[in-house]
Structure 1
Amino acid sequence: MPRFLVDMPLADGLEAALPAAAARHVQVLRLQPGDGLTLFDGRGSEWEARVVQMGRSEVRVRVGASQPVDRELPLPITLAVGMPANERMDWLVEKATELGVSTLQPLVCERSVLRLGGERADRKLAHWQGVASAAAEQCGRTTLPRLLPVRAFGEWQRALRPDVTEARFVLSLAEGTRPFVEALPPALRAGQGLLFLSGPEGGLCNTEDAQARAAGLQPITLGPRVLRAETAALTVLAAVAALFG
């Protein structure tokens, strides 16, 4: 059954017009009066609904019963990532949403190709929120990930709170790393939230790597092969998602 994210109050028995974006999607799918659909508001529940009227610009639905749906990972995962350039960041946001990321922090690092600030960063953030919303519709999530404003690496690193009880890791190209498969299980057994820092194209520079370690992030490696920035970030999410089934 088609799923639509809507920013509107939902309640059993409500008859209302869908927001413009959802209405256009219903029209594209050629749904007709009487056809069923699922609505969700990004806060953890789903509502059954049926189309009752199709107009040129307005689609009206009748909302039915709601049910809480939990398709989230049992541990919150934050991904702080040096933004890859071009469409690769869109792809990362889409796949990270599908894999269950809780919070996504885009970073500008020393080796970043994509550098955003001001209004351009705000526009990109709004675009990525749209990408995440579409991914949530497709994959069945009822809770949207938090997409935080773009920050410079140093600003983000200095703002890390030392008292947060989460397991923190940095994907490091320097020496002194542990294999990811060895470092992760203790954190999972402790039931901690997880934070992963992954660099941009070319990885973190030596200074950023050292700052991350000084902030308490455990250096880990994914193996001997050189992965693209977006591949490395998504690999850790896929591994955690697979472990949780």
Structure 2
Amino acid sequence: MRVPRIYQPGPLAAGQTLSLEDDAANHVGRVLRMQPDQTLILFNGEGSQYPATILSADKRQVQVRIDQQQQQDIESPLDLHLGQVISRGDKMEFTIQKAVELGVASITPLWSERCGVKLSGDRLDKKIRQWQKIATAACEQCGRNRVPTVYPVTKLNDWMAQPFDGLKLNLHPRAQYSINTLPQPVTALRLLIGPEGGLSPEEIDGAAEQGFTDILLGPRVLRTETAALTAITALQVRFGDLG
């Protein structure tokens, strides 16, 4: 059986005894039904992981003792920031989950002219918290010890205008360049993915004005979630740590 990995924010150290946060305790005690003397791995997002032993467990509280600290940083050498226009239904959640598994460093959900999602106020705040939890859970699953930040939703034009010292890419089906023709080396990159209906002509022009390079993935038009994950994979193969 695979040893469960649990995100536990705050300082962690070998020999420390602590109670897991409510969500983690519920998962360990109620969902996994783990018992005293079983082991799990904690991480707090700072790069290390901490094998720990359960001292007590019930459906409300789980107490553990940290046995040791292990230095294990499997982050990609490519600092990839995904700017993803919000997609409908569970597509956005799927994109965030898989993007984290593929090694993105950060994600900004975006509003654009053709974005078909309407969120505001408390509903929007709740959604952002949910997206961050999805990113954290993806790290638990894939072994990452650093949790990518899901930033607050930003207007596309504002995000494109943010200062950035690196390569900026925009997927465009009529672009002249592919990922394989991009120059090397690239260590920091921003990737813009539009909505289901694509970016408007004005937004495409705006991206070019802000220094984004148009690239294409191939002859077929991909759905927004397929385009994001395909592009991330190709970029990690060329500039990151996917073989």
Same-fold status (TM-score > 0.5): yes
Give 1:93's aligned residue: 96
1:163-178 to 2 correspondences below 5 Å:
164-173=164-173, 175-178=174-177
Give 1:206's aligned residue: 201
Give 1:129's aligned residue: 132
Q: Tell me by how many angstroms 1:182 deviates.
A: 1.4
Give 2:20's aligned residue: 18
Q: Cα deviation per residue 1:194-238 (whole Å; 9 max; x = unaligned)?
A: 111110012111000000011111000111111001110111111
Give 1:45's aligned residue: 48
Q: Tell me by how many angstroms 1:176 deviates.
A: 4.4
Is contact 1:108-1:115 (8 Å) kept?
no
Supply the distance in 1 between the matched residues of 2:13 and 2:178 (Cα, whole angstroms): 49
Q: Tell me if 1:221 matches 2:216.
A: yes
Out of 110-119 and 231-240, give the one that drifted further. Answer: 110-119
Is contact 1:76-1:101 (8 Å) kept?
yes
Residues 155 and 115 of structure 1, relative CA distance in 2, 3 Å threshold: farther
Supply the distance in 2 between the matched residues of 1:178 and 1:232 (Cα, whole angstroms): 16
Is contact 1:177-1:220 (8 Å) kept?
yes
Give 1:68's aligned residue: 71
- Structure 1 residue corresponding to 2:10, chosen from 4, 8, 11: 8
Is contact 2:77-2:187 (8 Å) kept?
no
CA RMSD across the alignment: 1.4
- Structure 2 residue corresponding to 1:108, chosen from 108, 111, 123: 111
Look up the equivalent residue of 1:16 and give its one-letter code: L
Residue-pair matches, total: 237
Q: Cα deviation per residue 1:20-56 (whole Å; 9 max; x = unaligned)?
A: 1111111121211111110001121100100111234
Q: Cα deviation per residue 1:134-190 (whole Å; 9 max; x = unaligned)?
A: 1110110100111111011122223x22xx3311111113x443122212xx1xx33
Secondary structure class of the residue paired with 1:80? strand
Q: Tell me by how many angstroms 1:88 deviates.
A: 0.3
Is contact 2:101-2:142 (8 Å) kept?
yes
Q: Tell me by how many angstroms 1:117 deviates.
A: 3.1
Which consecutive residues of structure 2, in runs of 5 or more, have no partner in the other structure? none
Instruction: Spell out structure 1 runs of 4+ moving beyond 6 A.
Output: none
Give 1:235's aligned residue: 230
Is contact 1:116-1:150 (8 Å) kept?
no
Is contact 2:135-2:148 (8 Å) kept?
yes
1:153-168 to 2 correspondences below 5 Å:
153-158=156-161, 160-161=162-163, 164-168=164-168
Q: Cα deviation per residue 1:81-138 (whole Å; 9 max; x = unaligned)?
A: 1111111001001001101111111111111111333332211100101111111101
Out of 53-62 and 138-147, give the one that drifted further. Answer: 53-62
Out of 6-15 and 125-134, give the one that drifted further. Answer: 6-15
Look up the equivalent residue of 1:104 and give its one-letter code: I
Is contact 2:56-2:64 (8 Å) kept?
yes
Look up the equivalent residue of 2:82 and give its one-letter code: L
